Structure 1
Amino acid sequence: MTQRDELVRFLKNARARIKPADVGLPDSDRRRTVGLRREEVAALTGMSVTWYTWFEQGRDVQLSAAMLEGLSKTFLLNPQEREFLFALAQHRPPPLAVPPDEVIHPITQHMLDGLNIPAQVITEDWTVIGWNRIVTKIFRDYAGRPASERNLFKILMLDERYRKNPEGFREMARRLTARFKWDYSRTTRIDVFDAIIQEMLKKSKTFEEFWYESEIVAHFEDVHTVNTSGFGDITVQHSSYAIEEAPGQRLILFVPVDDVSRERLAQVVLSES
């Protein structure tokens, strides 16, 4: 028994257990096939009958993540079955299936407010949904912006303040785009990401250049210097962390890297007291 044999068995069993009425098809006592026909599966999933037939027969064909998602919906798979299908077909976990959390949890906001360093939370598509007052003081005030204007990726790529050092901006843009490409490969909200990508291709030649390169970054860390009004330059290192109870959300922490930056950041915190 190979994994391909197990995939064939799984697909046949999944097809056999679905009643036509379960997926909006007319049912009839004269049907010879138990469950769905292959051509019905293909039509519901949006692929050719030949392609699905070959896939179910265990031939060496590869389905995209979108097609596997379509099969998961056609077969009404539960989360464990969906993951099983992806593991057998692509030898990797499926993209995040849980609907993304687009509202920050109160306990997470409470934690942000208790920190003495800048911290913010972004969603899967990089929309900022939570921040503390230190972020407002040294970066920007998100409160006055609608959600459509709080996409951190677009802000960093398009805001002129980050272009003062052309060489530094290109390096930042290269790595940001490589990370955004990684997030795109894992999302189930393809339409949301596609809209951002199309907008950025129109607005940024730098993004266009790096988007069509092959570099991918799974975890993005960087050091940059922020010029703060009244406190001078503060150099921070940032890194992001998944929030366990909120799939799709990431916590970004900014930590000062030297004594001068720590002292100036402390002055910012005191000014907020």
Structure 2
Amino acid sequence: MKPDVAGLGGFLRDRRARLVPDAGLAGRRRTPGLRREEVAARAGVSVTWYTWLEQGRGGPPSDEVLERLARALELDAAGREALFLLARQRPPPIEPAPSSPVTPAVQRVLDGLATSPAFVKTAAWDVVAWNAAACVVFGDYDAIPPAERNGLRRLFGDPAHRARLPDWEEIARFAAGVLRLDVTRGFPDAIALAAELLETSAEFRRVWAAGEVRTQGSGLKRMLLPGGGLVTFDYATFAVDGGPGLSMMVFSPLSETDARTIADLVARRAEQAATDPRAQAQAGSTQPFSS
């Protein structure tokens, strides 16, 4: 049996009925929720036109009007998406991921992965949260400027970082393919990063020209660690609530030997922090940051 999904008119009527009238305007009402004229006033549209929408008349509203209706009806993110799908048969425009820190709950997940480097990144590959293991593997995020906490800028613009990646070519194609998909999805920060790298990096232009499209998914990654030799990781990517395009990448050491190597490096970093006040200020700050 086909699921029963209300059309735009039914959706608007249902959400209008769920709202509580403003104080002093409740009065006696035969039906719950707001009246049509109250929703129209909130959204800045005419009562006649709003009535037509609930009756399934007239053409589809513009994005701007839909955004005003979403605010007038106090829709959450899921409700806003449903409104656009019903009115225009497509999701709403993608908003840039917030630059605010990730939630404490997400940070606790990161910190709980003692020997698995993990970080949260935006669609433009800006790292916005990390754990101690990530600092000893990918570079000390606590100590570097925010502009340098970008995975693709490092991948295509940092020769020292490239030298630590035996499989750089495959990693570069994978990363460019993931970025291309996010550009296609319309993430503004991904579009801006792609334009920047096309201007600044001949290697990126070469890889981008291959036209590959990838999902982040999972796979293997090898890295040469400072003082730690070659380590192989099994990585997986997870979507993160809090903003469009945010994802968490977790790199799990493939062997017990690799896990011990990471554990030793993390312990060494903690010991240094205990004896060096400057290192202590950095290593003790695995909190999220603004990109």
TM-score with structure 2 setting the length: 0.62
Query: Which residue identity is paired with 1:108?
Result: V
**1:218-265 deviations in Å (ceiling 9; x for gaps):** 334332222222221111122221234x33432221111234323322
- Of 245, 248, 252, which aligns to 2:249? 252
- Of 253, 256, 259, which aligns to 1:262? 259
**1:41-87 deviations in Å (ceiling 9; x for gaps):** xxxxxxxxxxxxxxx658xxxxxxxx964452365564556423443
Are residues 183 and 243 of structure 1, via their aligned partners in 2, closer, same or farther at CA, if it must alter by over 3 Å?
Answer: same
Residues 43 and 65 of structure 2 are in contact (CA less than 8 Å); yes or no, is this contact kept in structure 1?
A: no
Q: Distance in 1 between matches of 2:203 and 2:9?
A: 45
Residues 240 and 250 of structure 1 are in contact (CA less than 8 Å); yes or no, is this contact kept in structure 2?
A: yes
Q: Distance in 2 between matches of 1:268 and 1:209?
A: 36
Gaps of 5+ in 2: 1-6, 13-35, 51-57, 271-291
Query: Which residue identity is paired with 1:257?
Result: L
Are residues 120 and 82 of structure 1, via their aligned partners in 2, closer, same or farther at CA, if it must alter by over 3 Å?
Answer: closer
Query: What percent of counterpart residues are identical?
Result: 25
Matches within 5 A, 1:76-87: 78-79=75-76, 82-87=80-85
Q: Distance in 1 between matches of 2:106 and 2:166?
A: 36
Query: Which residue identity is paired with 1:238?
Result: Y
Is 1:234–2:228 an aligned residue pair? no
Residue number in structure 2 paired with 1:34: 48
Q: Distance in 1 between matches of 2:211 and 2:142?
A: 36
Are residues 102 and 238 of structure 1, via their aligned partners in 2, closer, same or farther at CA, if it must alter by over 3 Å?
Answer: farther
Q: Distance in 2 between matches of 1:219 and 1:19?
A: 43
**1:111-163 deviations in Å (ceiling 9; x for gaps):** 32332221222234321122222222222011223322212222223221354
Gaps of 5+ in 1: 1-5, 28-32, 37-55, 59-66
Residue number in structure 2 paired with 1:61: none
Residues 127 and 152 of structure 1 are in contact (CA less than 8 Å); yes or no, is this contact kept in structure 2?
A: yes
Which structure's relative contact order is higher, taking Cα pairs within 8 Å and 6+ residues apart?
2
Query: Which residue identity is paired with 1:143?
Result: D
Residue number in structure 1 paired with 2:121: 122
Q: Distance in 2 between matches of 1:152 and 1:209?
A: 18
3-state SS of 1:34 partner: helix
Query: Which residue identity is paired with 1:110?
Result: R
Q: Distance in 2 between matches of 1:211 and 1:181?
A: 8
In the TM superposition, residue 178 of structure 1 has moved relative to its aligned partner by 1.3
Query: Which residue identity is paired with 2:128?
Result: I
TM-score with structure 1 setting the length: 0.65
Residue number in structure 2 paired with 1:159: 158
Residue number in structure 1 paired with 2:273: none
Q: Distance in 2 between matches of 1:174 and 1:90?
A: 35
- Of 95, 98, 101, which aligns to 1:100? 98
Residues 223 and 237 of structure 1 are in contact (CA less than 8 Å); yes or no, is this contact kept in structure 2?
A: yes
Q: Distance in 2 between matches of 1:98 and 1:262?
A: 36
Count of residues in Structure 1 that have an aligned counterpart in Structure 2: 237
Matches within 5 A, 1:64-213: 69-73=63-67, 75=69, 78-79=75-76, 82-88=80-86, 91=89, 93-94=91-92, 96=94, 100=98, 102-114=100-112, 115-164=114-163, 168-187=167-186, 190=188, 192-213=189-210
Structure 1 outlier segments of 4+, above 6 Å: 7-11
